[in-house]
Amino acid sequence: MNLRKFLIPTLSLFFIAFSCKDDETEFESTPPRDRQEVYDENEVEIQTYLETHFFNYEDFDFTDNTNPANDEFTLVLDLISTDNGTQDRTPIIDYLNQADGVYPRLDIKIVTENDIDYNLYILKVREGEGDNISTLDAAAMTYSGTIVDGSVFDSQVSIESGQPFILTGVGSVGGVVAGFREGIVEFKTSTGYTENGDGSVGYQGHGIGVIFMPSGLGYFSLPPTADIPQYSPLFFNLKVVSRSNTDYDSDGVPSHLEHPDGDFTEDDDDTDGDSFVNFIDSDDDGDGVLTSDEVQQKEYEDDGTSQFMTKADAQAYYTANAASDEIFIRIEAELDGTYTLHTLIVPATMVNGVSLPNYLNSAITTELE
């Protein structure tokens, strides 16, 4: 089955460009250009940019990825030119095909959209030292979005309202454009943060890089703002800070656990074969018992003696006391300055030598309190 029939358009403002003669109801729509033709043009634009631009690599310590100074690094892109004395700088394209684990690196990810295989270029200065990100997660980051000439159409220098961004749109829940989603999941989150005296927040170990996407993975013919021309490639310079779970079907099981491979193909996880993939199915195994009744959500406000005063306290309690069938969900900051640990009990049974969660086993209909 194809998940795309469940997806709504992403962050784009979808509209029809039309003209209307006075006192008439006749509309004339402008058909979009051929996608392959536009992609071929975009590929040349992006490659030319990568061949003629560099970033401030001398400001990052690649010999010691954990150097605290790297956490303060801000990636800047610029044109290689004799006019600014940068004619000897290394163009971004030269970081293509680096050996595994070598940074900086320029990776190409093939993303299929509308039957076209697009090259998504991802410059990684630092992959990130925290958690992996799934396409079904929500993610928070600071970023700057530009077009090829360097004009900025959107930016956030701090984690503001509207974040984290839900990466995949399903039903009435909007997501981000495909190129942004597929690029973000190639980075990892930060390992922690520090609250500064001026109210700002500093992050440690976060992913740093740039996503270079053709318009077919962005807004194509329907950009949401006049600052983005039609059919324009988009570049996102970003620092990836955190991830959080989504639960599209409100069954208590994080969506990324119900679709662990994260790729939207014909092999999507649909345990009961009802044409609804598990992460949008309230009864995953079709046994008549809701998934939410076959798992148990738990909250811990304290360790049995005192409340959790830091996230580290709550995390340490989970690490030391989690049951074998207990899954970490999140740690929530409360208004009184304490923290609450959220977990999920997921009973499982051995089936043919494999541990299968009961909510995916139609032979087991046990409801948890």
Residues 6+ apart with CB under 8 A from 15: 222
| DSSP-assigned letters across all residues of 195-213 | E-TTS-EEEES-EEEEEEE
Among 300, 249, 252, CA closest to 274: 249
Token digits of residue 70: 């790297």
Tell me the CA end-to-end span of the chain in Å, nearest whole number.
Answer: 34
**Domain parsing of the chain, residue ranges:** 3-244, 255-360
Q: Residue 13's CB: how many other CB atoms inside 10 A?
A: 10
The pTM of the full predicted model, rounded to 2 decimals, is 0.85
Report long-range pairs for 49-53 (Cβ below 8 Å, ≥24 apart).
49/92, 49/148, 49/212, 49/233, 49/235, 50/91, 50/92, 50/93, 50/106, 50/121, 50/212, 51/91, 51/92, 51/93, 52/79, 52/80, 52/91, 53/77, 53/78, 53/79, 53/80, 53/91, 53/92
Q: Residue 63's CB: how many other CB atoms inside 10 A?
A: 6
Q: How many CA atoms lie within 13 A of 73 on its CB side?
A: 30
- Domain 3-244: CATH class, spelled out: alpha beta
* 3-class DSSP state of 261: coil
d(CA 11, CA 9): 7
At 161 the pLDDT is: 65
At 107 the pLDDT is: 98
At 17 the pLDDT is: 32
Element containing residue 132 per DSSP (H, E) = none
d(CA 113, CA 179): 10
Q: Is 150 left (phi over 0), alpha (psi -120 to 50) or beta?
A: left
d(CA 126, CA 71): 10
Q: Is residue 311 within 8 Å of 331, Cβ to Cβ?
A: yes
**φ and ψ at residue 282, rounded to 5 degrees:** -75, -15
Written as one letter, the residue type at 65 is N
pLDDT tens track, the chain, 369 positions: 333 333 333 333 232 233 333 444 555 578 999 999 999 999 999 999 999 999 999 999 999 988 999 999 999 999 999 999 999 999 999 999 999 999 999 999 999 999 999 999 999 999 999 999 999 999 999 999 999 999 999 999 888 767 899 999 887 667 899 999 999 999 999 998 887 777 778 899 999 999 999 999 999 999 999 999 999 999 999 999 999 999 999 999 999 988 865 555 555 688 898 988 899 999 999 999 999 999 999 999 999 999 999 988 999 999 999 999 999 999 998 999 999 999 999 999 999 998 999 999 999 999 887
Element containing residue 46 per DSSP (H, E) = helix 35-52
d(CA 170, CA 264): 12
At 158 the pLDDT is: 82
d(CA 212, CA 351): 45
| Residue keyed to tokens 């984690």 | 159
Burial 233-243 (b: 16+ CB within 10 A, else e): bbbbbbbbbbb
